[in-house]
Structure 1
Amino acid sequence: MSDPIKKITLKDGAVRYRFVVDIGREPKTGKRKQLTKTFDTKKEARAEYARIRHQTDEGTFVSPDKITVATWLDTWLKSATIHVEKATARNYADAIRPAHERLGDKRLQLLTEEDVDDLVEWMLASGRKRGGKPGTGLSARSVQLTLGRLRSALTVAVRRKLVVRNVAQYTEIPREARKQARAAKAQRKPWDAEEVKTFLAHLADHRLEAGMLLTLIGLGPAEVCGLKWDEHVDLDAKSPTIKAGENTRTLVWGENGGEVEEKGGKTENRPRKLPLPSPVAEALRRAKARQARERLAAGEAYGNSGYVLVDELGRSCRTDWLRRRAYELMEGAGVRRVRLYDARHACLTYLRMAGVPGPIVSAWAGHGDLTIADRVYVHPDVAHPETAAKHLGALLS
């Protein structure tokens, strides 16, 4: 067998050593693929030839490719979001965007762990583009989402033999950033019972009374906005009920602003039929009567969309509109401004601390995982251990 390493002489008289090696076949055409490499010494050429042959035989060889990070992330994103909902696809795109913008010009095969570390540092320091002051740092959670999507994209790149290894595999959020994130999360706590009562007193006879009460019994904003009178609310029965989560209106942000995506519940168990506490049922009856009066007053201008949550002309409402109105009501009531999801957390915490079993609390909230209420949504405060101590005292007396 002839030596694959060939000695060549360049025009300037310099001597080099070159080889041509088979590295597989084109997936679509079956055409043989070859790689040509040139080295200063025969020893270097022979070592590289042996390495390529060994990796080709093992099926681990990665051939040189000039594909950029941006091109690969676009390819990965298209594949990763084929079968997901529009809101989920937008979340994927938003999460991977910082990596696309910061690392996009680099060749994928030249991406290093240091590049990924620099991406994380930049995002924490000044990576914000919207949702706050541009140029400020993003939250550790946002950075973790980006890092997770980048890892996924590079894992697929490894599987397709575009890169040798996943350079984002071992990158972590710096300890100080994680510590600050935990401190910020600890400071964000739902309303206590007194704050809920103060807010309820301010809601009396307000057109959003029913919508706010629905959030306070554990419905998410998209669920509240998706409720329809005829399909989901039964106020005539002896025990009034709502079908929560059968329809949601989710706001999806794109290049042209927000767009509403209407769909069913996001998990198998999310749609659920809930008995209504009497104050909520009464608030819904008042809301329905108010809408009837507004329909008569507006005449043909009334939208008559059929939704429970509408404006004065019967038009359906988006979750961002609901949030803004909720914050205005909180300010007017003089209570702490909390996210609407914190109202949901407050409801589930109250139920759990009142002795309702965790699986039932999760079922009420529509969780597919019946342990998630205890792991994520319940926020014990300093008063709850005192209650536990009283119960233990009674037990041991």
Structure 2
Amino acid sequence: MTMVLAVFRNEIGRLFSLRPVVSVVVVAAAVYAVFYPQPYLNEALRKVPIAVVDQDRTQTSRELARLVDATPDVAVAQVLPDVPTAQREVYARSIFGILLIPRHFERDLMHGRTSPIALYADASYFLMYQRMNGAVTAVSRTLGTSFEVSRLVGLGVDLPVAEAATDPMPFIPVPLFNPQGGYATYILPAALVLILQQTLLIGVGLLGTLPGGAAIAVGTSRRRFGDLAYESIATVAGKLLAYLAVEALIVATYLIGLPYLYGIPRLGSVATILAFALPFTLAVGALGLLVAAALRKPLAIQLVFAAIGLPFFFLAGFAWPAEAMPLAVRWVAKLLPSTLAIDGLVDVAQLGASLSDVRGEFLGLWLLVAVYAGIAVVVEFNNRRRASTPALVRGAS
């Protein structure tokens, strides 16, 4: 235990004395916490500008344009005389869609005939396309239903019967766990876990490659296997405890403070969230030790993680569905602590799941801790044995 505490104190001191490590683990984490959520604070995309080309110019066509403009998702920015003029505005990026209302629109509705409208929407920005398509679809269905009800009532059908005939199966969407249907509530909890992983991995990797680490005790010819094994285990344990102590406040801020600050719904208890975050932090720290042992140079750490940041983002399974990935890729993704942590922490924090509900992810993280820490102990053991070889040779001579 004495050696564990000595390694713990040494690693804490190095972490706060080495400027590159402080910049990544502390400063970068603070900068990300402040600036990364800002683009998502509006939660949902609103008032996408479109143009209306009204070729019918009747009361009903104007009512359709007014209802579309009244939706929170779309704003009718311009009413233009023809499609070519509207196309020029699309190419100029002043609008992102064209709603074309054809001639005889009102007449066809009154006669009970189909009267299709056209929406030319810019699908290069998928979020805008979804908003425009959803808003125009909802308005057109509502307006069409009201006309059909009025027509049936005019033919002598009772109002309740007419309403049931035009809408026999009403659809009522209920957004669970994300009442605003917002992008921030969906993306931020997962992205924050990825940021925690990246900053800690790079920080631990730099700690393991920068000079000034704990000196490896070089024994004499009487050093035994048990001594080397104990020192290796104590070294790895002391380092992991140091990373856990430093990350305790950062992890609590990211997983509890930031969701509260930015209004992200949270149903899980603080104790459950922190309990799940414990193996995640240890697994990332142990993986960082292996990264440092494999790459060995600070520049290599920085270049490699700059290159693999985006693959980590997609492997996490929230930017691109995990079900759409090849099975081999999904198994590789499970080797990253963030993959299991995102699934588990979203369930625990946002859905109110208990640890027993996410025991697969929870036990998986502890398995990663055992595997990565075990490999780190073996690497440390081999380093110490190689360092003690000169002493053994001198003792034999």
Task: Settle same-fold status: TM greater than 0.5.
Answer: no
TM-score range for the pair, normalised by the shorter chain length:
under 0.3
- TM-score (normalised: structure 2): 0.28
Normalising by structure 1, report the TM-score. Answer: 0.28
More helix by share: 2
Q: Which has the higher contact order (CA 8 A, sep 6+)?
A: 2
